[in-house]
């Protein structure tokens, strides 16, 4: 079964006030490496935390949103990222993740990406 994942608009555009491309979407891959590579190619920044996102759905045909879905912030109660891409002190990429990252996203495919400093 293919799961369509929705990325938050401010994550992709780097600002909530951007008159923007639609939030980006992609099909959830089976492996963490594929997931990280897809997200890395889509985001305008390399260090990020991935959280479950809060979303709204609209049926308005002129919303410009793919499937009428807008992800705009971190879902209430989410305090730790599901997946994080960062660097160690030597500049090597480190991927941190929940053991059940895939299942969490399958069950709730609305993701907000926060830029890490």
Predicted structure pTM score: 0.83
Q: Which of 5, 79, 69, 97 is nearest to 43 (CA)?
A: 5
Q: Which residue has the higher pLDDT, 116 or 106?
A: 106
Q: How far apart are CA 108 and CA 111, in angstroms?
A: 8
The contacts of residue 72 (CB under 8 Å, 6+ apart) are: 8, 9, 10, 16, 53, 54, 55, 56, 112
Q: What is the pLDDT of residue 3?
A: 95
Type and span of the H or E element at 115: strand 110-115
pLDDT digits (tens, 9 = 90+) for 45-93: 888 999 999 998 888 777 777 788 888 888 988 889 999 999 999 999 9
Check: CB of residue 65 under 8 Å from CB of residue 72: no
Q: What is the pLDDT of residues 20-43, one digit of tens each?
A: 445 688 999 999 999 999 998 888
């Amino acid at each position: 079964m293919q799961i369509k994942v929705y990325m938050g608009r401010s994550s992709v555009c780097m600002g909530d006030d951007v008159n923007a491309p639609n939030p980006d979407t992609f099909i959830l891959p089976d492996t963490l490496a594929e997931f990280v590579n897809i997200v890395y190619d889509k985001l305008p920044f390399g260090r990020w935390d991935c959280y479950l996102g809060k979303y709204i759905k609209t049926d308005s045909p002129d919303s410009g949103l793919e499937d009428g879905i807008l992800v705009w912030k971190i879902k209430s109660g989410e305090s730790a990222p599901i997946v994080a891409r960062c660097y160690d002190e030597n500049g090597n990429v480190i991927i941190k993740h929940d053991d059940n990252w895939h299942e969490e996203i399958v069950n709730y495919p609305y993701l907000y990406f926060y830029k890490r400093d």
